[in-house]
Amino acid sequence: MRYLARLRRSGLTSALVSSILVVRNNAMRLSLRKGFSFGLTSGVITTLGMMVGLHSSTHSRLAVVGGIIAIAIADAFSDAVGIHISEESENRHTSREIWESTIATLFSKFFFALSFIIPVIFLRLPVAVLVSVFWGLSVITLLSFYVARRQRIPFHKVVFEHLIIVALVITLTHYVGSWVATLT
């Protein structure tokens, strides 16, 4: 509110004040979008990789649930601090924008990671892992559609690119988990 009053007192025309406020609001929305999309993407890929790897190596529901909770807490804070420092290092964001990205990353990573615990609790572990993979791929697909639409580019390229990366993580963690199982 003080910002608006200061702009009006500065003698700028109301059209210019409105333009400044639109730019300022878009920047705030950008910081939230950045944190949310980063947290969501990281929450899906990291959690799926951990789940598939732990399932392949231990076949233990307890290990998978513990891993999901650990990812939701430790990795959410880690990613939030990482995005915070990254935004600060660019030296072009306001303190508010930096904190918006930080908090959006923290909460989106935390809650999306925890969403994978639901099938593990209610379904047999092999089925829960498959359901989680479907859930994760669906979330990444929806986010990719959104990104492509905002950038006005063909969605199939964006979706394909992102799903290939997720599939690569799932495949690698499955085989590494199976290899780790042979070590015991």
Domain range list for the chain? 38-79+106-179
Residue 44 has pLDDT above 80, yes or no: yes
CB 128 within 8 A of CB 119: yes
Please give the average per-residue pLDDT across 15-27, as a whole number: 47
How far is 116 from 120, CA to CA, in rounded Å?
7
Per the confidence metrics, is the pTM higher than 0.75?
A: yes
Residue 8 has pLDDT above 90, yes or no: no
Residue 25: its pLDDT value, please?
54
- Alpha-helix residue ranges (DSSP H) falling in the chain: 2-9, 14-58, 61-70, 76-90, 95-115, 117-122, 125-151, 155-181
